[in-house]
Amino acid sequence: MSTAFPRALIVGASSGIGATLALKLAGTGAKVAAVARRQAELDALAAQSAGRVLPYAGDVLDYAATPALFDRIVDDLGGLDLFIYNAGVMPPVEESEYNFDKDRQMIEVNFLAAVQWSNLAAAHFEAARAGVLCGVSSVAGERGRRGSPVYTASKAGLTAYFEAMRNRLTRYGVRVVTIKPGPVETPMTAGLKLPLMITADQAANEIVSALEGGATEAFVPGIWRPIMFVVRNVPSFVFTKTNI
Ligand SMILES: NC(=O)c1ccc[n+]([C@@H]2O[C@H](COP(=O)([O-])OP(=O)(O)OC[C@H]3O[C@@H](n4cnc5c(N)ncnc54)[C@H](OP(=O)(O)O)[C@@H]3O)[C@@H](O)[C@H]2O)c1
């Protein structure tokens, strides 16, 4: 079996999009290091993939442990071809709730830890003059939304960071890919009614296609590209009156 990415690392791979993506990539013949806090879920992925998914229990908020964990994974894999930062949290936030603990967790998991892990992967890829650096952002990062001010801000930050990394790393032969899913059925969205919802399986298939096809930015599914073009261009005074 030939795979585009023999050695892959996914951070946030124990459920939803990340777990499905790990199994898909393993199915193409890749060895996939899977990082998340829930060891049992990671072990189940290893069992389902005949050992092609390698479990690494870790918390992205343990900043002191991250560099050594990254080095250990790259050593174990014998190098790295693809890095995906997919970890994310979106706790429920009420319309008039201003909760610093929730806000801090979203900024740290969705953005700050993404920067720490992606910087490590970027330095590795820049030195190797090769590699694919991928971040799972969201259509939610395209505008500030009243229902989730800090989730949208964390994803807007991630999108801008990945754009800057693309501008920095392309000259070294490193491809930087920003994935922008719309609503996907996962534990994160359990119980939510959201428009144009797709399954984690559909999302993972589209992400693998984007990675294999050479994309640098992919809306998942693609229909979100024209929708977001319009949404981005709605004037602020109109956007304030809507709830889109
Ligand atoms: N579902 C959607 O509609 C949607 C839409 C757009 C973008 N996204 C983005 O897609 C990504 C995946 O989300 P999902 O929908 O698949 O949700 P999910 O099933 O809840 O997956 C979230 C992943 O992040 C990991 N994670 C969270 N906190 C962590 C921490 N402190 N340390 C290590 N790993 C941590 C979780 O692992 P552990 O809990 O085991 O640590 C899990 O593997 C997220 O970045 C999300 O923002 C989702």
Structural domain contains residue 244: no
Structural domain contains residue 218: yes
Question: Which residue has its alpha carbon closest to ligand 1 atom 24?
Answer: 87
Mean pLDDT of 197-215: 98
Distance CA 81, CA 93 (A): 37
- Whether the predicted pLDDT of 133 surpasses 80: yes
The total domain count for the chain is: 1
Structural domain contains residue 104: yes
- Whether the predicted pLDDT of 239 surpasses 80: yes
Structural domain contains residue 93: yes
Residue 137 alpha carbon to ligand 1 centre in Å: 11
Please, what sign has the CA dihedral across residues 223, 153, 23, 213? Answer: positive
Mean pLDDT of 148-166: 98
Structural domain contains residue 80: yes
Q: Which of 56, 85, 151, 161 is catalytic?
A: 151
Distance CA 13, CA 88 (A): 10
The residue range of the domain holding 27 is 7-239
pLDDT for residue 188: 97
Q: Is the CB of 49 under 6 A from ligand 1?
A: no
Q: What is the mean pLDDT of the chain?
A: 97
**Two tokens at 165?**
């990394």
Structural domain contains residue 167: yes
Question: Which residue has its alpha carbon closest to ligand 1 atom 45?
Answer: 88
Residue 132: pLDDT band by 50, 70, 90 thresholds?
very high
Q: Is the CB of 202 under 6 A from ligand 1?
A: no
CB 45 within 8 A of CB 55: yes
Q: Is the CB of 36 under 6 A from ligand 1?
A: yes
Cα 114 to Cα 64, 88, 89, 197, 229, distances in angstroms: 14, 9, 12, 25, 26
**pLDDT tens-digit readout, 53-69:** 999 999 999 999 999 99
Q: Is the CB of 189 under 6 A from ligand 1?
A: yes
Q: What is the CATH number of the domain that holds 198?
A: 3.40.50.720
pLDDT for residue 212: 98
**pLDDT tens-digit readout, 26-57:** 999 999 999 999 999 999 999 999 999 999 99
* Three-state secondary structure call for residue 197: coil
pLDDT for residue 2: 83
Residue 188 alpha carbon to ligand 1 centre in Å: 7
For the chain, give the percent of residues with pLDDT over 90: 96
Residue 244 alpha carbon to ligand 1 centre in Å: 23
CB 205 within 8 A of CB 167: no
Q: Which amino acid is at 16?
A: G
Distance CA 215, CA 38 (A): 31
Based on the residue annotation, tell me whether 151 is a catalytic residue of this protein.
yes
**pLDDT tens-digit readout, 175-205:** 999 999 999 999 999 999 899 999 999 999 9
Q: What is the reported pTM? A: 0.98
Mean pLDDT of 109-125: 98
- Ligand 1, pocket-test mutation among 11, 15, 111, most atoms within 8 A of CB: 15
Mean pLDDT of 113-117: 99
- Ligand 1 atom, smallest distance to 42 CA: 40
Mean pLDDT of 101-113: 98
Structural domain contains residue 25: yes
Q: Is the CB of 179 under 6 A from ligand 1?
A: no
- Whether the predicted pLDDT of 244 surpasses 70: no
Structural domain contains residue 1: no
Distance from first CA to last CA of the chain, Å, rounded?
44
pLDDT for residue 242: 82
Q: Is the CB of 18 under 6 A from ligand 1?
A: yes
Sheet holding 31-36, edge to edge: 53-57, 31-36, 7-11, 82-85, 132-136, 175-181, 217-220
